Chains A and B, each alone.
Chain A
Amino acid sequence: MTASFPDMRQQVLVLYLSTSALDTAVVGWSFYDGTGRTDSMAGDSDEPPYATGLDALRDGWRLIQVSPLLPHASGDEFRLGYLKYEFFFEKLLPPA
């Protein structure tokens, strides 16, 4: 690292939305804090941190990955598995 790019850590927010649109409701969420400021785990909150994905953008989160929209395989159109609309966000902060 150079002096102009200080040592940073990643905070990762994962939001699961009700559709592929960022301005729709959050139905699931996870948070992993590489700065060491907080410690999150399964079942630690029953209310989402943001109402929509767009609200996270407006609060400074950078979108880094979106789940693709995949065609439905013939004969398997109605099998459901993992949450469908997954959005990864990040913030970069100095370590705690």
Chain B
Amino acid sequence: MSEAVVEDNDLLLDSRQMARFVARGFLRLDAVVPAHINAAFLAALGQVDTGDVANMRSYYGRIMTSGAIPAVPAGVPLAAAYPEGSPLADLLALPRVRGAIRSLVGRQPIFDHHFLHIAFPPAFYEAQGLRQVSQHNHQDSTIDPRAAFDIQIMYYPHDVTADMGGTRYLPGSHLRVVSEAAIARYQNIRGQQHVVCPAGTLLFMHHGIWHGAGINRSDRLRYMFKIRMQPRERQRRLWNTTDLPAPGQPQRPIFWTGVGGNEDSIDAILCRPEPWHEADTGRVEFINRVRFWRYLLDDPEVDADYWVRRIENDPV
């Protein structure tokens, strides 16, 4: 990572962080939310670990009607979504969080929706005679072919252990245009990740990431709070771009590459395959990443490993 750039107290992302987001569709910041905000958020929910929950539906209903998390109209400024001094307002005011949001969706994002996800332990399903099952893989919302993108911040206010079934997600799936739960048939995909993290971790996800909640096999409730937001402005060079390579750099050798090379270069980041990539469409993924990178840079010339220029070379 290059030296952090601070503007208006925002810690902006650097170009490699943005390129990784373009390639893989997520940014993870471990334990970025301090303990006092995590504690205040959970306390406001009237959080219990286990035992005091009569049933899952009533527990959700009590929190939803308590006002601990406000009901916010879709489409308002994110800055107006949470009361000043509330845990969520404090979370969004953290310099690293502000910087990541600003780098991805700009200064004045639009609030879309939020939701508190609770994964209950096996005892609650057994008590109600229900099958405890993980959430199917899905892509949120609906078919979304935009070049612009929304982000969803997933907030884990307490430690998430492996047996708690943290969010499952598929890195690099965000550029696939599918229809929400149409991908539910896919149970397991090579390279899928399961969130295991310390308290206060945030996962910033492109809206297109394939994901689903895992099954909680612990004896504690698991909480995850999600906020979706949209850009109000064109997503053009919103991060710290001072570390970008100078324009006009030659392409690096491809296929017959010799030895060495910078594996952390932006070209390498954009052309690194995922374990689930099919042989042929993996190459199309690279093309779509380059096109996404061009959109964010507003530069129709930039390429990585010649994937796009090759198919644009059409002399007349």
Interface positions of A (Cβ within 8 A of B): 14, 16-19, 24, 26-31, 39-46, 48, 78-85
| Bound-state Cα–Cα, A5 to B304, Å | 59
* Contact surface of B with A, Cβ cutoff 8 Å: 131, 133-137, 145, 165, 168, 175-178, 182-190, 192, 194, 212, 214-215, 275-281, 284-285, 287-288, 291
The interface residues of chain A lying within 8 Å CB-to-CB of B284 are 78, 80
The answer to whether A78 touches B287 (Cβ under 8 A) is yes
Q: Is the interface of B mostly helix, strand, loop or mixed?
A: loop
In the bound assembly, the distance between CA atoms of A16 and B186 in angstroms comes to: 9
User: What B residues does A41 contact at CB under 8 A?
Assistant: 133-134, 187, 215
17 of the cross-chain contacts (CB-CB < 8 Å) are A17-B278, A18-B279, A28-B189, A28-B276, A31-B187, A40-B187, A41-B133, A41-B187, A41-B215, A43-B168, A43-B194, A44-B134, A48-B188, A78-B284, A78-B291, A80-B175, A81-B176
User: Which of B134, B183, B279 is A82 in contact with, Cβ under 8 Å?
Assistant: B183
Per DSSP, chain A at the interface is loop
CA distance A92 to B178 in the complex (A): 32
The count of A-to-B residue pairs whose CB atoms sit within 8 angstroms is 93
Lowest 10 CB-CB distances: which A-B pairs, in order?
A: A30-B187, A28-B189, A43-B168, A27-B276, A42-B134, A41-B134, A42-B187, A18-B279, A80-B176, A19-B279
CB nearest neighbor in B for A43: B168
Of A19, A28, A30, A78, which is in contact with the most chain B CB atoms at under 10 Å from its CB?
Answer: A28
Q: How far is the CB of A16 from chain B (nearest CB, A)?
A: 7
Select the residue from A39, A41, A45, A84 with max chain B CB neighbours within 10 A. A41
B215 contacts across to A, CB distance below 8 A: 41, 43
Cβ of B134: which chain A residues have Cβ within 8 Å of it? 41-44
Q: Is the CB of A84 within 8 A of B182?
A: no
Listed residue (B145, B190, B277) with the most chain A CB atoms within 10 angstroms of its CB: B190
Question: Which chain B residues lie closer than 8 Å to A84 at the CB level?
Answer: 278, 280-281
A28–B186 touching, CB < 8 Å: yes
CB distance from A19 to the nearest CB of B (A): 5
What residues of A have a CB within 8 angstroms of the CB of B136 in the complex? 42
Q: Once bound together, how far apart are the Cα atoms of A58 and B183, in whole Å?
A: 28
CA–CA, A39 to B134, complex, Å?
A: 11
User: How far is A70 from B187 in the complex, measured between Cα atoms in Å?
Assistant: 24
- Verify B212–A19 contact, CB threshold 8 A: no
Q: B176 contacts A27, CB within 8 Å? A: no
In the complex, the answer to whether A43 meets B178 with C-beta atoms within 8 Å is: no
B289 to chain A, nearest CB (A): 11
Asked if A46 and B192 sit within 8 Å, CB to CB, the answer is yes
Chain A hits for B281, CB < 8 A: 80, 84
Tell me the minimal C-beta distance from B294 to chain A in angstroms: 13
A27 to B186 Cα, complex, angstroms: 11
Q: Pick the contact of A42 from B145, B168, B177 — CB < 8 Å?
A: B168
A27 cross-chain contacts in B, Cβ below 8 A: 189-190, 275-278
